[in-house]
């Protein structure tokens, strides 16, 4: 019986192939880590400590003024004020309105899709939601400015006897809420669906209505994932830029009145990076300090959501 | 047909179960007539007629895929949850035809409870698990709920083991305890009939023993229908045994008769382990 001898060389070639793939994949993974590291480096080198003859933001403005000041008036002259609070209030005002819109809508959509909809309905609801998620942010901005404010909100608040500005954080929050609704719906639906069927059957067998099953068994069982989806959506709402910059305007006022205009952290950053101040001027450098603040806030929110996921996950056999 | 003398050695029954019960003299809790059941185009049950006497245990036995679980699930309309299922025939539960589309399945399922093969405690406390049924029925009074939880846990022989930790998670209980908790939870909706789908098949022998004795106690007040793969179990806990094969009810009769002198050859082959 003759047996073709295995060529050792071929085998090594296979191995080389493997090694190549391994390196390519490693490069892909490393790329995102490197990018993150580079971003942090750029932020820090402009905000905290600048090498060479450049001066970093916090070398000119004290951290204390930045964290406690309630006026944000970037200017090269002596009148420049760099208190982060107006930007923080604008950001959180928009994000909270967005949460108030997207949490009920997103969770409701998720429950409907997983507990109520038949497969045919699900077939078209999901793509529609994905289309919503694919609309560019600028379009939402103009939708807020040209439709939601003048057509919906203005008559409504006139009827209530209040006045709403052309640029206002309410309309910005509403469109951001609409934008992040698909995110909540899709993430929550995934966790809701992963609740074992046996749990639903047990609830039905105890004489539950569909609503009992959804609200008292399925949602509580999936709560950790649902909360995590809320937080992820919240951190996206905080980071949302274009729609907010267009709808809420660019006036940094320290206010919690959603009927007035506001500037958010991201809105200011766009403004600063496209403005006409010199590249190493304080107004331009302040952008990096705001960037770090934003980065830290979203990082904290994402860490909390990860912690909730791990801490409150129910383990099913 | 001559009596089969050594069909199998029948083990002693659990206390409270009379295996020679003359079922024809009992009022019926469930009376199924000519039931057919389909998943889509596929017929699963063929012309089933079966009477379940009040306050007794009926065991459904048969090889996997014979339709006994499907049949059990028609008795509280759990199959409604399966897309594309339909059925014909009549199923009288205490005189009312539950196959009627107008029947309120939510009310029906409070009346006809169900315990599943896999224990399915909700991710809530032990107390909240048992209180679930009464709560969805609208009971809010904490004292009433507390009394009910205690009495149901006692009936399910679980009270002494959990009375000091009612507010801890039910997920931390052992498999056998979880299953008794599920029985307590079912009792809390105050059913008349309890359906059990292989309630002990995932449990160790000691826990199985407890469940079997519990069935013997419960049948003084409740009508029980149990699906089991374990022939010994069927013979220990039931008054009446029904043998299903390929979607048909081959034979039904007092448990002692089915296990010692079945009328049908197929039944004899199955219980003596010649197939299945």
Superfamily of the domain at A81-311: MetI-like (1.10.3720.10)
Contact A278, A284 (CB under 8 A): yes
Chain A positions touching B171 (Cβ under 8 A) are 314-315
Contacting B residues, span 161-180, partner chain A, CB-CB under 8 Å: 171
Q: Quick check: is B203 in a domain?
A: yes
Ordered by start, the domain boundaries in chain A are 81-311
Under the banding of pLDDT at 50, 70 and 90, the label for residue A209 is very high
A222 and chain B: CB distance < 8 Å anywhere? Answer: no
Tell me the per-residue pLDDT of B187-236, one tens digit each, with 9 for 90 and over: 999 999 999 999 998 888 988 998 999 999 999 999 999 999 989 999 99
pLDDT value at residue B3: 45
A120 and chain B: CB distance < 8 Å anywhere? Answer: no
CATH number at residue B168: 3.40.50.300
Phi and psi at A175, nearest 5°, equal -70, -35
Which structural domain range is residue B80 located in? Answer: 23-271
Q: How many domains does chain B have?
A: 1
Q: Quick check: is B65 in a domain?
A: yes
CA–CA min distance A219, chain B (Å): 11
Tell me the per-residue pLDDT of A184-197, one tens digit each, with 9 for 90 and over: 999 999 999 999 99
A119 and chain B: CB distance < 8 Å anywhere? Answer: yes
Interface contact flag, A204 B81, Cβ < 8 Å: yes
Chain A residue closest to B116 (CA)? A202
Q: Quick check: is B10 in a domain?
A: no
pLDDT of residue B91 exceeding 60: yes
Average pLDDT for residues A109-138, to the nearest whole number?
89
Q: Tokens in use for B3?
A: 């009596």
Tell me the per-residue pLDDT of B26-52, one tens digit each, with 9 for 90 and over: 788 999 999 999 998 999 999 999 999
Contact A148, A154 (CB under 8 A): no
Tell me the per-residue pLDDT of A1-60, one tens digit each, with 9 for 90 and over: 556 666 666 666 667 788 899 999 999 999 999 999 999 999 998 888 888 777 888 888
In this prediction the ipTM stands at 0.90
Tell me the per-residue pLDDT of A237-251, one tens digit each, with 9 for 90 and over: 998 888 888 888 888
DSSP string, B189-235: T--SEEEEESTTTTS-HHHHHHHHHHHHHHTTTSEEEEE-S-HHHHH
Contact A279, A288 (CB under 8 A): no
Instruction: Encode burial over B121-132: b for 16+ CB neighbours within 10 A, e otherwise.
Output: bbbbbbbbbbbb
pLDDT value at residue A62: 87
Q: Quick check: is B15 in a domain?
A: no
Q: Quick check: is B1 in a domain?
A: no
Q: Tokens in use for A94?
A: 């928009």
């Amino acid at each position: 019986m003759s047996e073709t001898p295995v060529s050792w060389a071929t085998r090594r070639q296979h191995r080389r192939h493997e090694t190549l793939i391994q390196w390519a994949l490693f490069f892909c993974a490393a790329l995102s880590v490197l990018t993150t590291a580079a971003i942090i480096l750029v932020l820090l080198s402009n905000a905290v400590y600048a090498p060479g003859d450049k001066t970093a933001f916090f070398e000119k403005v004290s951290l204390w003024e930045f964290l406690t000041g309630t006026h944000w008036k970037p200017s090269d002259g002596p009148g420049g004020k760099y208190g982060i609070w107006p930007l923080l209030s604008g950001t959180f005002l928009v994000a909270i309105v967005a949460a108030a819109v997207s949490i009920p809508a997103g969770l409701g959509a998720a429950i409907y899709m997983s507990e109520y909809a038949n497969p045919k309905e699900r077939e078209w609801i999901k793509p529609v939601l994905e289309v919503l998620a694919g609309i560019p942010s600028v379009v939402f901005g103009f939708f807020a400015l040209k439709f939601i404010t003048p057509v919906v909100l203005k008559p409504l608040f006139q009827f209530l006897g209040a006045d709403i500005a052309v640029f206002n954080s309410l309309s910005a929050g509403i469109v951001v809420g609409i934008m992040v609704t698909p995110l909540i719906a899709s993430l929550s639906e995934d966790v809701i669906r992963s609740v074992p069927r046996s749990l639903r059957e047990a609830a039905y067998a105890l004489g539950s209505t569909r609503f009992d099953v959804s609200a008292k068994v399925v949602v509580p069982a999936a709560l950790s994932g649902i909360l995590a989806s809320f937080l992820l959506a919240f951190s996206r709402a905080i980071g949302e830029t274009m729609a907010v910059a267009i709808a809420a305007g660019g006036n940094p006022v320290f206010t919690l009145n959603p009927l007035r205009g506001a500037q958010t952290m991201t809105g200011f950053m766009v403004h600063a990076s496209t403005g006409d101040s010199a590249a190493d001027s304080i107004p331009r450098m302040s952008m990096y300090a705001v960037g770090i603040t934003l980065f830290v806030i979203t990082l904290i929110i994402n860490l909390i959501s990860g912690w909730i996921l791990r801490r409150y996950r129910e383990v099913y056999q | 047909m001559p009596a089969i003398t050594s069909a199998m050695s029948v083990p002693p029954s659990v206390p409270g179960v009379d295996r020679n019960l003359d079922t024809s003299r009992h009022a019926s809790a469930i009376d199924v007539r000519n039931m057919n059941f389909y998943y889509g185009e596929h017929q699963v049950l063929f012309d089933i007629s079966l009477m379940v006497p009040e306050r007794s245990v009926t065991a459904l036995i048969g090889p996997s895929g014979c339709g006994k679980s499907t049949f059990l699930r028609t008795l509280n309309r759990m199959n409604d949850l399966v897309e594309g299922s339909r059925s014909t025939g009549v199923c009288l539960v205490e005189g009312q035809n539950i196959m009627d589309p107008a029947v309120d399945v939510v009310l029906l399922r409070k009346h006809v409870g169900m315990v599943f093969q896999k224990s399915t405690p909700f991710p809530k406390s032990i107390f909240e698990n048992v209180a679930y049924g009464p709560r969805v029925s609208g009971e809010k009074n904490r004292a009433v709920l507390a009394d009910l939880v205690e009495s149901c846990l006692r009936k399910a022989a679980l009270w002494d083991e959990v009375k000091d930790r009612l507010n801890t998670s039910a997920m931390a209980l052992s498999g056998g305890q979880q299953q008794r908790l599920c029985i307590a939870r079912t009792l809390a909706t105050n059913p008349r009939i309890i359906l059990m789908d292989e309630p002990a098949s995932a449990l160790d022998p000691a826990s199985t023993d407890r469940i079997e004795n519990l069935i013997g106690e419960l049948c003084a007040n409740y009508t029980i229908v149990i699906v089991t793969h374990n022939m010994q179990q069927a013979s220990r806990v039931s008054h009446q045994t029904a043998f299903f094969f390929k979607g048909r009810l081959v034979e039904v009769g007092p448990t002692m008769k089915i296990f010692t002198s079945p009328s049908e050859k197929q039944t004899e082959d199955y219980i003596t382990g010649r197939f299945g």
